Amino acid sequence: MTATTSPPATDETPDRAAPPPPGTWAPLRPLVLRLHFYAGLFVAPFLLVAAATGFLYAASFQAEKLLYAHELTVPDAGERKLPVSEQVAAARQAHPDGTVSAVRPSPDADATTRVLLSGVEGVDPNHTLAVFVDPYTAKVRGALEQYGSSGALPLRTWIDEFHRDLHLGEPGRLYSEFAASWLWVIAGGGLVLWFSRRRARRKLRGTRGRRRSLSLHGTVGAWVAAGFVFLSATGLTWSTYAGANIEELRVSLGQTTPSVSVSAAGGGEHAGHGAAAGTGGDAAHGVGLDKVLAAARGEGLSDPVEIVPPADASSAYVVKQVQRSWPEKQDSVAIDPATGEVTDVLRFADYPVLAKLSRWGIDLHTGSLFGLANQIGLMALAAALILLIVLGYRMWWQRGRGSVFGRPVPRGAWQQVPPAVLVPLLAAVAVLGYFVPLLGVPLAVFVAVDVVLGEIAHRRGRRTYAGGTTAKR
């Protein structure tokens, strides 16, 4: 066997002029580098789509206010708002189809009331038809399809579904879960690599070519890595597979989101109240909407609120706060339709810790928690991710030095890791891969393919090692 020297060291290979200090990190760095390189290479297209659509989604909140200003606002604010029951009656006269699934009374002086109808022909079964009513005149100002508890209208709904599943339904959700599963790994690996470099080699000023791309890539990545980890973690909470595992963990810890009891007699738990559709057509059950709203006000439920009619004869009205901006308002009450008495009260302050964190995390992820500032921050993160992806591919191209593709990071780095470090590391990766399968399964496939390719290269008499040598038989 003879050994030949590899090409001069690049920024992706260990720096021979300044070798890393001895210790655990020295053999781990090539392994982290190889993972960061290949994960970025193959996951980047999915992340690019997620970043671009996420940027559009964050911008859609303000775009919606402009595009649907006629439906969302009233031309002139009056002195007194009409009873909610009169507003609902006007909405039902204009749109008699379907049933009233919820009512959102006007939360501001210049805002319309939303009457939500389910089962309307031509409307997606998972959506509702929102009828917008002037609370001062009961004039219907329009109707739009609405989705989700955040009240997304057609523009935001379309972008939201594109971001979540590429308009492919449940199978399409795998793309976003795959991107979220790997984003924190790529960000964390890049951050570790950046801070492990000598300070002098991180400088951007005075650099050129590939080194400048690397410096800019690392600097931007270091500043936004925490944001990427946050987006990844919160995105996984409502994903298909990892989300189900997270929910199972929360159940086992007793940290699920509680729900108010909807039994008209104040009986047992009915976890499905939030999705229950009203069955009473115009929502006029028992004491009626106005007395129900007054009872909720008596319990301190301030605007914005949503009134959900009883699902059946044995159920109560549910009035719940729906403010997702800080400070969040998420209190809810159940009210007996026969007597108008409050039968159950649930305060957001009494939510378990993980339920609160989940609520805050999701709302921060979607741009609701801090309003415009939140949305600008998300747009900045999305733009930074797009820039990092472009720079990453640019570095790969520049690393090829005139060839069509950049040279890959050499394999075999794991062989240099001490068993005392490698074994616990593999165990941790296995556990993590179980709970986040779209991280674990692709990683296992990559390792298997890499091993096979390495063996093929070995049998052909040529294998490149992470240490920078090429062995020939």
| Residue scoring higher pLDDT (348 or 32) | 348
Q: Which residue blocks in 197-307 are alpha helix, DSSP H?
A: 209-236, 241-252, 289-298
Task: Choose the final residue of a domain: 316, 350, 384.
Answer: 350
* Total domains in the fold of the chain: 2
Cβ-based burial of 47 (10 A; exposed 0-12, middle 13-18, buried ≥19): buried
| Residue scoring higher pLDDT (281 or 62) | 62
Q: What is the pLDDT of residue 203?
A: 66
Give CA–CA dist 133/117, Å, rounded: 13
Residues 467 and 395 grouped into a single domain = yes
Residues 275 and 147 grouped into a single domain = yes
**How much is the pTM?**
0.85
Average pLDDT over residues 375-397: 95
* Entry field: residues in the chain: 473
Give CA–CA dist 91/142, Å, rounded: 10
Q: What is the pLDDT of residue 154?
A: 98
Q: What is the pLDDT of residue 23?
A: 57
| Residue scoring higher pLDDT (215 or 87) | 87
Q: What is the pLDDT of residue 456?
A: 83
Residue 182 and residue 439 in contact, taking contact as beta carbons nearer than 8 Å: yes
Q: What residues make up the domain containing 39?
A: 2-57+166-247+371-472
* Amino acid occupying residue 223: W
Strands 342-346 and 113-118: unpaired
| Residue scoring higher pLDDT (20 or 37) | 37
Residues 44 and 91 grouped into a single domain = no
Residues 201 and 83 grouped into a single domain = no
Cβ-based burial of 390 (10 A; exposed 0-12, middle 13-18, buried ≥19): middle
Residues 79 and 218 grouped into a single domain = no
Q: Which helix (H) or strand (E) holds 440?
A: helix 437-459
Q: What is the pLDDT of residue 285?
A: 77
183-241 pLDDT tens trace: 999 999 999 998 887 655 656 666 667 788 888 999 999 999 999 999 999 999 989 99
Is 158 a member of any domain? no
Average pLDDT over residues 371-380: 98
Give CA–CA dist 95/188, Å, rounded: 52
Residue 292 and residue 278 in contact, taking contact as beta carbons nearer than 8 Å: no
Residues 375 and 394 grouped into a single domain = yes
Q: Which two tokens stand for residue 105?
A: 């009374």
Q: What is the pLDDT of residue 417?
A: 77
Is 366 a member of any domain? no
Least confident span in 143-147, 419-423, 459-463: 459-463
Residues 6 and 133 grouped into a single domain = no
Q: How confident is the model at residue 20 (pLDDT cuts 50, 70, 90)?
A: very low
Whose tokens are 């993980």? That residue is 354
Q: What is the pLDDT of residue 3?
A: 39
Whether pLDDT at 269 is above 90? no
Strands 342-346 and 462-464: unpaired
Is 380 a member of any domain? yes
Residue 89: how many CB atoms within 10 A of its CB? Answer: 19
Average pLDDT over residues 401-418: 65
Residues 134 and 185 grouped into a single domain = no
Is 451 a member of any domain? yes
Is 86 a member of any domain? yes
Average pLDDT over residues 176-189: 96
